[in-house]
Chains A and B, each alone.
Chain A
Amino acid sequence: MEKEKSGFFAKLKSGLNKTRINLLDGLDSVFHGFSEIDDDFYEELEEVLVMADIGVKTSGEIIEEIKTLVKVEHIKSPEDCRSYLIDLLSKRLQIPDDGYEFLNEKSIIFVIGVNGVGKTTTIGKLAYNFKTDGKKVMIAAADTFRAAASEQLESWAKRVDVHMISSTEGTDPASVIYDALYSAKAKDVDVLLCDTAGRLHNKKNLMEELKKMNRIIDREYNGIHRENFLVLDASTGQNALNQVKEFSEVCDITGIILTKMDGTAKGGIAIAIWQELGIPVKYIGVGEGIEDLQKFDSKSFVSAIFDKD
C-alpha cells in the first residue's frame, strides 16, 4: 500500500513536472530578481500566476492578499514572500476529498465535455480503475455522432474487459442511454459509465440533447447515485470557466476531470474553477497509460507543484 502510494506520488510528480518547473522557475526568478517589494515586483508576480492560467481575477485577488500580508507581517524582502504565496495558493486548492462516496454504492457516471478533451479515453481509464477495484462495470457508448467514436470505446471496453452497450452512428444517443440503463439494471452492474459526444457549450441544440439524456437517466433509474463529470483539457484557458458554467445548465456537475496534465503548464485552471465556481476536480489524467488517471488529491497536487527536488 505504502509502495503504491509513493509510486502514484512519483507519477503525479513527474506528470506535473512541467507545471512545477514553469511555476517555480517563474516564481524564483521573481523572488530573486527583485531586491525590494515594489509595484514591478507585484506585476511580475501576477504575470507568473496568470501564465499558469490561474485567471486574471483569481491572480489579482492573490496579489491583493500578498500585499495585505506584506503590510501586516512587515515583510521586507521579496524572498520572504515566497512561503506566504505558496501558502495562499495551497489554501486555494484545498478541495475536500469526500467526493468519492459514489465508489461505495451503485452509481451512474455521466461524462460530458467539449470536443477533443479526452472523454472516451477517460471513460476507458475510469472503467479500468473501477474494474480493478472489483466492481462490475458497464459502458454506454452514447457518442453516436463522431465517426468511429464507438469503435474507439469498444477497443477500450475489450482491453478492460467490460460490457458495452452501443448503437450505430447517427442514432439518438438518448436511446443508447435508455438501453444501457435497462441492461445495467438487469445485469446488476455497480457502475454505468456513459460516454457522450463532445459538443461546444454554446450549441443550444446539442446541449438540449444532453438534457434529454440527463432526464432519461433520472426518470428510468430513479434513486441511483448520480455523478456528472465534466472533462476538461488542462491546457484550456479561461474558456474553461465558460464551459463549466454552460454545462452546469445541463445537470449538476459533481466533479471535473482534468486531462492531459502531463504536458502542460496549466495546473492553474483547477484553482480558477474551484475558486470561482466551487466545483472540485475529482480525477486528473497525468499520462497516456491506462493507469494514468488518478483521484485528485489536493495535498499531493500542491506538493507536487511546489516541492523542490
Chain B
Amino acid sequence: MAFENLTDKLTKVFKNLRSKGRLTEEDVKSAMKEVKLALLEADVNFKVVKNFIKTVEERAVGSEVLEGLNPGQAVVKIVNEELTNVLGSETVEIKFEPGQATTVIMLCGLQGAGKTTTAAKLAGKFILKGKKPLLVALDVYRPAAIKQLQVNGEKQGVEVFSMGDNVSPVEIAKASLEHAKAGGFNVVIFDTAGRLQIDDALMEELVNIKQAVTVHKTLLVVDAMIGQESVNVATQFNDKIGLDGLILSKMDGDTRGGAALSIKAVTGIPILYVGMGEKLSDLEQFYPDRMANRILGMGDVLTLIDKVMEETDIDKDKERDMSERLKKGKFDFNDYLESMNQMKKMGGLSSMLGLMPNLGISKDDLEGAVDEKQLKQMEAIVLSMTKKERSNPKLLNPQRKHRIAKGAGVDIAVVNRFIKQFEQTQKLMKQMPGLMGGKKRRGFGGMGGFGKFPGMPF
C-alpha cells in the first residue's frame, strides 16, 4: 500500500471523466482529496498540506491538459513541480569561511536523530573537499556518547576534541577553538547532546554556546521518520537558537520523509544533506526533485542512477554500447553477469530496491524474489553456459538447458524459470527509457547505468 503510486490513484479518480482540454474546478477538487491523503500518509504536516493543496488547486484549475498526459498525470505533474518548488529549487552547499579561516558548524537535534553519526559523516565529506576538520564532543550527558564520536572519528581519520563529561559544553567549545587554531583545523564540528525542543535548560545551553563562540552554521539533524511533530521541533529550534540548514537522517529506510517538506515549508531552512545508510560514507546531497518523487511514493530513480554511476567504473564506450543494446532489448547473459558483479559492488539489491519506483511490479513481488541465495544460483546457471549461449540466449534448447541445469546443480525447472525471467527483463529494459520520462539529467545519456539492475525483476 505504501508504495501505491499517486499517479495510479489519480488516474482512477479521472477514469470517469472524459478527457477534457482543461481541468475544471470539480475535477481538481476530487483529485486533491487523493493528493491530500498521499501527503498525509507521507507524514507531511497537516497545516502544510492544507496550504499546499490550496496552491496546487489554484494552479491546476483551468490549466491545460498537455498532450500525451491524461488528467491524472497532468495533476501529478503540477503537484510534483510545486513540491519541488517548496523543497527548494536547487541543492544548497555549505559555504565555508573564506581562505584559511575556521568554519564552525554546530549540529543539534532531538535524541536519537543521528547527530553523532552525522557529525563523523560530515567530517569525512569535508576531508574530501580538502578541509581539515575537527570533531568536538559536546554531548556530556549520554553515556558513552564521547566514545562513540571518538570511534567514528578514528574511522574517518578525523581528530576528536573532548574534555570528558565533567566540563560544561560552553567551556569545551571555547577550548576546542583554541585547539583548532593551534592545530590548523579549518572546519570545526560541534556534536551536541540530543535534547527536546521544549527543554528550556538544555536549549539555553545551545544559546550559550553560540554566545560564547562564533558558530557559522547551526544545523538541525532530523530523523526522516518523524511525524506531524516535525514542524514543532524545527520551528522551536529555529526560534530559540536560529538554524542555517537541515540534515535528514535515516532516509535509507522506507519512510516517505514528509518531514522534509513540512520543515522546509514552515521554516524555509534549506535541506543540505540526507543520511542514506549506516556506513560513514553514506551522507548524500539533497535533491529537491527526488525528494518530491519520494514523498509522492514515486520512487527515487535518479538517486538509483547516481548510485550506479558513482559506484561503478565501466568505461564509457562499453557503457554506451550496453546502453544501446539495452534500448533495443538486445541484452545477453554476458551483460547479466557483468550487471551482477556491478551490483555486488554496490552493496546488493536490497539497498537499491528501496529506491525503485513502481514499474507495474509490486514491491512485494520484488522483495519476495530478491533472495541473495537465488542470485547465486542464477550466477551458477549463467556460468554453466557456453560462451555462445551467453551471447545468444536463443540457442538454448531443451538439451542445452538440461546440461546447464546439471552444471549449475539445479533443477531444470529453475533453469527454465530463470530464462523466462531473463526474457521478461529484456522486455522491461526496452521500456525503461520511456518510463524515465522526458527529464534530461546527467547520467541519462549513459543509460548504460541501467545495465546494472537487470537482476531487478527477479
Instruction: Please report A residues at the B interface, Cβ cutoff 8 Å.
Output: 18, 47, 50-53, 56, 114-118, 145-149, 151-152, 154-156, 169, 200-205, 233, 235-240, 242-243, 260, 262-266, 269
For B147, list chain A residues within 8 Å (CB): 147-148, 151-152
Given contacts A147-B147, A204-B370, A239-B254, 10 further A-B contacts (CB under 8 A): A116-B112, A148-B147, A151-B143, A155-B144, A202-B354, A233-B223, A235-B229, A260-B196, A263-B110, A265-B229
Taking a contact as CB atoms under 8 Å apart, the answer to whether B228 and A118 are in contact is no
For B255, list chain A residues within 8 Å (CB): 237, 239, 242
Taking a contact as CB atoms under 8 Å apart, the answer to whether A239 and B350 are in contact is no
Is chain A's interface secondary structure helix, strand, loop, or mixed overall? loop
Q: How far is the CA of A19 from the CA of B288 in the complex (A)?
A: 32
3 residue pairs, one from A and one from B, having the closest CB atoms = A237-B227, A116-B112, A263-B196
Residue from A47, A146, A202, A265 within 8 A of B253 (CB atoms): A202
Taking a contact as CB atoms under 8 Å apart, the answer to whether B228 and A18 are in contact is no
For B143, list chain A residues within 8 Å (CB): 151-152, 155-156
For B40, list chain A residues within 8 Å (CB): 50, 56
Q: Does B252 contact A (CB under 8 A)?
A: yes
Q: Does B207 contact A (CB under 8 A)?
A: no
For A51, list chain B residues within 8 Å (CB): 45-47, 228
**Nearest A-chain residue to B43, judged by Cβ:** A237
Taking a contact as CB atoms under 8 Å apart, the answer to whether B227 and A263 are in contact is no
Residue from A114, A262, A264 within 8 A of B229 (CB atoms): A264
Taking a contact as CB atoms under 8 Å apart, the answer to whether A116 and B111 are in contact is yes
Instruction: Please report B residues at the A interface, Cβ cutoff 8 Å.
Output: 2, 37, 40-43, 45-47, 50, 110-114, 142-145, 147-152, 155, 196-199, 223, 225-230, 232-233, 249-250, 252-256, 258-259, 278, 348, 350-351, 353-354, 367, 370
Closest Cβ of chain B to A32, distance in Å, is 19
Taking a contact as CB atoms under 8 Å apart, the answer to whether B43 and A242 are in contact is no
Q: How far is the CA of A115 from the CA of B276 in the complex (A)?
A: 13
Closest Cβ of chain A to B158, distance in Å, is 13
Known: A114-B250, A155-B143, A239-B255. A53 touches B227 (CB 8 A): yes
Q: How far is the CA of A205 from the CA of B129 in the complex (A)?
A: 32
Closest Cβ of chain A to B321, distance in Å, is 32
For B354, list chain A residues within 8 Å (CB): 202
For B41, list chain A residues within 8 Å (CB): 56, 238
Known: A53-B227, A205-B350, A237-B226. A147 touches B152 (CB 8 A): yes
Closest Cβ of chain A to B413, distance in Å, is 25
Closest Cβ of chain A to B204, distance in Å, is 16
Closest Cβ of chain A to B426, distance in Å, is 26
Q: How far is the CA of A203 from the CA of B254 in the complex (A)?
A: 10
For B227, list chain A residues within 8 Å (CB): 53, 235-240, 266, 269
Taking a contact as CB atoms under 8 Å apart, the answer to whether A115 and B198 are in contact is no
Taking a contact as CB atoms under 8 Å apart, the answer to whether B198 and A18 are in contact is yes
For B258, list chain A residues within 8 Å (CB): 237
Q: How far is the CA of A114 from the CA of B152 in the complex (A)?
A: 19
For A260, list chain B residues within 8 Å (CB): 110-112, 196
For B367, list chain A residues within 8 Å (CB): 204
For B256, list chain A residues within 8 Å (CB): 239
**Nearest B-chain residue to A231, judged by Cβ:** B112
Taking a contact as CB atoms under 8 Å apart, the answer to whether B223 and A201 are in contact is no
Taking a contact as CB atoms under 8 Å apart, the answer to whether A116 and B228 are in contact is no
Taking a contact as CB atoms under 8 Å apart, the answer to whether B114 and A116 are in contact is yes
Closest Cβ of chain A to B2, distance in Å, is 6
Q: How far is the CA of A266 from the CA of B227 in the complex (A)?
A: 8
